[in-house]
Amino acid sequence: MSSKRKQQQIQTIDRRNHAVFCRLQHFPYQSLKLPIDAIRWLGITPELFRALDKPTNIAPVIQYIGSDLLKFSVHQGKYQFKEYLIDVVLGLHHSSSQDTTLLMVHRYEDQAILHGNGIATAFYGRLDVIAGRMGVNYILGANKASNIDFFTRKLGRERVIDLPSAAKIIPKSILEVNAPEFMTIKAIPPYVSV
C-alpha cells in the first residue's frame, strides 16, 4: 500500500471513529461501561495505524469488571487473543470525603515495536478528553521509576509526593497498594459543550 493511500485510509478511519465518539449522547458516564465506539476512539489512534505495516483488522477486546473497572486490549488480525498491541486497565474511584472522582490508569502497556511513535502520548491525550466528558476530576497513574519523566514533562502531570493535598483526594485503598513516589496526578478541567 502506498504511503499516500495508507495516510488517506488512516484519516478516514479516525474521522469515522471520532464522529461516532462525538455523537455519543449519554455523557457523562458514571461508570466505565463506555460504549465500544468511545473505547475504539481512545485506543485506536492514527499514531497506532502509522506504526503498523498494514493498518487493517484492528479491534479492541473489552472486558468490563463491575461498573468501575475496564480492561481492554487492541489486537490486529484474525487471531485477536494471541498478542495485543496495547493493553489497558482503567479504574474509576470516588473519594467521598472530597466529593471527587478519579480515573486511574492501573496499567498501560504497548509492544516494544510501537515505542517512539507517539502512541502512548496520543492515548493519554484522548484519555483526558474522555475523562473530561465523564466529569472526572483527576487522572491518576501508578508509574514505573523509568517513565515518571514522560508523565510529568510530556503529559503535564504532577508527582503525588510533590502535592501534599493529593493525599486528601486519593482513596487510602489506592495509596496502600501503590508507592506514592511513583504515582502521578493531573486535574481535568470540566467539559464544556460547544
Q: Which residues contact 98 (CB under 8 A, 6 or more apart)?
A: 168, 169
Q: Is the pLDDT of residue 29 over 60?
A: yes
Q: What are phi and psi of 27, to 5 degrees?
A: -80, 145
Question: What's this model's pTM, rounded to 2 decimal places?
Answer: 0.87
Question: Percentage of residues in the chain with pLDDT exceeding 70?
Answer: 89
- SS3 for 186? strand
Instruction: Tell me what the mean pLDDT of segment 72-93 comes to.
Output: 82
| pLDDT greater at residue 55 or residue 135 | 135
- Side chain identity, residue 113: I
Instruction: Tell me what the mean pLDDT of segment 108-112 comes to.
Output: 92
Q: Which domains does the chain have, with CATH numbers?
A: 3-187 (3.40.630.30)
Preceding peptide of 164 cis, ω within 30°: no
Residue 149: its pLDDT value, please?
Answer: 94
With bands split at pLDDT 50, 70 and 90, how would you rate the model's confidence at 51? confident
Q: Which residues contact 151 (CB under 8 A, 6 or more apart)?
A: 141, 143, 157, 184
Nearest Cα neighbor of 127 from 168, 179, 88, 81 is: 88
